[in-house]
Amino acid sequence: MTQQTWDEVGGLLPHDEFRAASEAIVANIEQVIEGKTATVRLALAVLLAEGHLLIEDVPGVGKTKLAKALARSIDCSVRRIQFTPDLLPSDVTGVSVYNQETHDFEFRPGAVFANLVVGDEINRASPKTQSALLECMEERQVTVDGVTYQLQTPFMVIATQNPIEMEGTYPLPEAQRDRFTARIAMGYPDPGAELAMLDGHGATDPLHELRPVSDAATVRRLIGHVRQVHVADAVKQYAIDLVTATREAPDLRLGASPRATLQLLRTARAVAALEGRDYVLPDDLQALAVPVLAHRIIPTADAQLARRTTDAIVAELVHRLPLPHDRKRSPYDTRPPAPNNGRGPYEPRRP
């Protein structure tokens, strides 16, 4: 039986079925993660945008739980990798082993041969092992001993790392960080969510009781639906202007790559679909600028001495960059609308 490769997706879903399927996944994850709806929805958006997610935060805030809850909410193959200094690249990609019975080498797949790969504490592995993920994250394939093996779809790497404890860790190289579609931080829960966590998690771990509410075939159809979300030319130009601003900012010595522009647009499509729209707004790009762009850029020495974070620099660029002139009107704007045949400036032409 042939495996379904990364560029093959199922048929489109009606809007109501898409909404029901996506909301079921979000609600299922929220049985484990309390009070983090925006973070959960962004994690799902990265999955539907065919990207990869880096969860970076202090210990104990639920990084691994979010990754495992997303994986368990979908009935598909899941593999977990605990990154350690002695982990080898062959443990990740696979290795050819000599079979004495057949007198030939046979390939034994590694942990990346799954729909969802959870990499815990990725920065504790050596750069040699970290680089084993480069090919599979970008090209959805693994090459071992000159033979290329295609990965299934959906395929997503969800990695966690602790930015506080740096002893015994290896910072991710820029080529690795650029392959992650978004970087998110869990943050501490508010008092109400933490109280609900004590009630729900005090005796048992709800993660053990979590059951799948979707499957790989449904997720493929969700991805196909997201691919069809319309992006107006003005919104595409705004995405280019936003990424170009990071390359020209005086506080940055490395701006965002063209891959960042693509992934910003793909994630915006997924967010728009989750919001019930079939078109992208500039507001979607603004909301995603920090999680999608901030981990790809490098500040100058002066900016680092001034303790300016990349998140703050990107947020300032978003604030300064003018929006497209045909931006969607505010609901509080009382001026008479310009005639456009009932179609919004970013909506697709409808029959």
Write the pLDDT tens digit of every residue in 157-186: 999 998 877 777 888 989 999 999 999 998
155 shares a domain with 181:
yes
Query: Does 59 score more than 50 pLDDT?
Result: yes
Q: Domain boundary at 193, 211, 228, which?
A: 228
The answer on pLDDT for 224 being more than 60 is yes
193 falls in which pLDDT band (50, 70, 90)?
confident
Tell which of 195, 228, 261 closes a domain.
228
Q: Does residue 50 sit within a domain?
A: yes
Nearest-5° angle of CA 147, CA 153, CA 155? 85
Same domain as 248, residue 161: no
**250 and 265 assigned to the same domain:** yes
Number of other CB atoms surrounding residue 201 within 10 Å: 14
Residue 247: give the domain boundaries: 230-327
Do 294 and 203 share a structural domain? no
Residue 136: inside a domain, yes or no? yes
**Same-domain pairing of 140 and 211:** yes
Phi–psi pair at 5, nearest 5 degrees:
-85, 175
Is 148 found in the same domain as 250?
A: no
**Per-residue confidence (pLDDT) for residue 169, from 0 to 100:** 85
Confidence of residue 330 (pLDDT cuts 50, 70, 90): very low
d(Cα 21, Cα 16) in Å, to the nearest integer? 9
My answer on whether 200 and 241 are in the same domain is no
Q: Please spell the DSSP secondary structure of 187-241, one letter per residue.
A: -PPPHHHHHHHHHHHSSS-GGGG---SEEHHHHHHHHHHHHT-B--HHHHHHHHH
Q: Are residues 239 and 220 in the same domain?
A: no
Look at residue 171 and tell me if it is in a domain: yes
Residue 301 in any domain: the answer is yes
CATH number at residue 115: 3.40.50.300
- Local structure of residue 12 (DSSP, 8 states): P
Residue 208, pLDDT > 70, answer yes
Domain boundary among 228, 254, 283: 228
The mean pLDDT of 330-341, rounded to a whole number, is 48
Dihedral sign of CA atoms 313, 318, 320, 321 in order:
positive
Mean pLDDT across the chain: 87
Q: Are residues 121 and 192 in the same domain?
A: yes
Residue 68 has pLDDT above 60, yes or no: yes
The stretch 58-74 carries a mean pLDDT of 89
Instruction: Tell me whether residue 348 is in a domain.
Output: no
pTM: 0.86
Q: Indicate if 186 and 300 belong to the same structural domain.
A: no
Residues 169 and 235 grouped into a single domain: no
Let me know whether 242 and 319 are in one domain. Answer: yes
Read off the pLDDT band of 102 (50, 70, 90). Answer: confident
Domain count, the chain: 2
